[in-house]
Amino acid sequence: MSVRSIVIHGHFYQPPREDPWLNQVAAEPSAAPYHDWNERIERESYRAVVAARLYAPDGRIAQIVNTLASISFNFGATLLEWLEREAPATYAAVLEADGASRARHAGHGNAIAMPYHHVIMPLASRRDKITEVRWGIADFRRRFGRDPEGMWLPETAVDPDTLDVLAAEGITFTILAPHQVEQAPADGSAGRYRTPGGRSIALFVYDGPISHDVAFGALLKDAAAWAERLLAPGKRGESERRLVAVATDGETYGHHHKFGEVALAWVLRELERRRGVRVENFAAFLARHRPEQDVKLVAPTSWSCVHGVERWRADCGCRMAPERPTQQRWRAPLREALDWLAGELHARFEREGGELFDDPWAARDAYGTVAGDRTAEGRGRELLELERNALRMFTSCGWFFDDIAGIETVQILRYAARAIELAGADAPRLEAGVLERLARAQSNEPGEGSGRDVYLHHVKRRVPVESVSRTEAHTGDPGGDAARDLLRAVLALEHDHSARAIAAVTELADRAQRDGGHIPFDAQTAFYRIRAASPPERAARLAAVAWRLGFADGEGEGARKGGGD
């Protein structure tokens, strides 16, 4: 009996939002009731995918699963940095998922790496490509405790030189869209691409129609239909599919589609129950099926711009709100301004750094092993920070959206301003050169003026400290004190097994129900994990609490027998 492999990949990423002077995220009113968009999306998506609910027929929770333990995934390094600091439980669950998958797939983990910053690689210089890949590998190694086998490319933007850099740094595969690869194997297996440098790398191609219908269609509203699409036989005369791969933004689950993580968990459970189906990751599949067929690259291309990579340098017509009569002519002068600035900054770094480091570019690459390394001091560290800001000012989000006055573009201009400041005596000349070029970039928003005006009004004006700190008005904690009290009571059950501790949870849960509220997501998740780890006798004593917290009868037994992650 032939076996079909299914790989579902989630690309998890948010633009970096930290102020480059304060290293804190300012309040973003558009994300209300949360403090900022990172916090909002963590609540809606990241927290949900690592604790997805599987429901019993009566609508109560039957099981909570970490879906990342069953899907391929990558997280942007800057997002992981934020999660490690601001959402440590979610961050820990991401690392745990990779560990669980390694145990399940003979050492091949679900996590893959990404270039450190979300830059459009075909638009970067060879030297910057190398640094981004080396920083991404170093960050991955520090977090996951192993070398990455694969690497996701931002926006899947690719050209031959990028693949040569990946292969040279030991990356064995990446994932691309169907229109980016010619002569791909019909059975879904990886193709072999031979790079200009004489190296080779495996290219997986995701299923375009299924991925589109997960991200933008109705498949997350009909999980059974999604499962059937993944298992559908090939048309007459076609090769039987050995691998079916799906790739979407990770935020599809829970943020773009509310309860999308529930559909994902259901599909994974359904697939894992089917005979002749293997749910796995790309690295595990590649270990058994080495690429045998050479493929051709269509480049430069990306998954989110039908014009190649023009979305990040030209008014190509791709935008978020096509129904609005906006222009994106501002993209070209923005790219020109930052390209010019980068050239000036790199020259200064090489000139000054040559007096402080044996090899300034090797020092830059080494700096990324713990980005923000404290071992360099004085002017040497300032120069390395100059380069870090010069790299992150090319974060792709600055061009992706529809106006130069948007928060994403303002953010990359702040990185540019910080890099200019670190240039020292040359700063006034550099800023004047950037402003001259930005003056040709016109905003769509009345009153915002040109890119020069945006820089002077939104970038030069420092963020007040009070707008950076989180306040009670922006806790992002629905339910307030009552929700926090119930979570604390549940967490106490981990160490306090007394009847009094159980009664405290029961009372608070009953109060939440009487007040017409819902049992908080975090309290349910914590309880599930505590009960699943409890010995049978103690778990039985928690049955009444489980019912009050929304769980199905007998919940916990299945988890201890291997149902949960």
Taking only the tens place, the pLDDT of each residue in 419-473 is 999 999 999 999 999 999 999 999 999 999 999 999 999 998 554 544 555 544 4
According to the model, what pLDDT value does residue 240 have?
A: 86
Rounded to an integer, the average pLDDT of 145-151 is: 98
pLDDT tens by residue, 37-82: 999 999 999 999 999 999 999 999 999 999 999 999 999 999 999 9
Q: pLDDT by residue (tens digit) across 307-345?
A: 999 999 999 999 999 999 999 999 999 999 999 999 999
What value does the mean pLDDT of the chain take? Answer: 92
What is the structure's pLDDT at 371? 55
pLDDT band at 514 (very low <50, low <70, confident <90, very high): confident
Lowest mean pLDDT among 278-282, 324-328, 371-375: 371-375
Q: What is the mean pLDDT of residues 352-376?
A: 83
Mean pLDDT across 393-416: 97
Give the helix ranges, DSSP H, for 403-520.
Answer: 407-422, 427-438, 451-454, 465-468, 480-492, 499-514
Q: Is 58 left (phi over 0), alpha (psi -120 to 50) or beta?
A: alpha
Report domain extents, the chain. 4-304, 319-464, 481-563
Sign for the CA dihedral angle at 179, 185, 191, 192 comes to negative
Burial 102-134, CB ≥16 within 10 A → b, else e = bebbeebbbbbbbbbbbbbbbbbeeebbbbbbb
User: What's the rounded mean pLDDT across residues 292-318?
Assistant: 97
How does residue 116 score in pLDDT terms, banded at 50, 70 and 90?
very high
What's the pLDDT band for 370 if we cut at 50, 70, 90? Answer: low
Lowest mean pLDDT among 265-279, 400-414, 467-481, 496-510: 467-481
How many whole angstroms separate alpha carbon 267 and alpha carbon 221? Answer: 11
At residue 468, the pLDDT reads 57
How many C-beta atoms surround the C-beta of residue 445 within 10 A? 14
pLDDT of residue 466: 47
CATH code for the domain defined by 4-304 = 3.20.110.20
Cα–Cα distance, 284 to 279 (Å, whole number): 10
Say whether pLDDT at 405 is over 60.
Answer: yes
Kindly report which listed range (340-349, 361-370, 391-400, 548-557) carries the lowest average pLDDT score: 548-557
pLDDT-derived band at 557 (thresholds 50, 70, 90) equals very low
Q: How far apart are the first and last CA of the chain?
A: 29
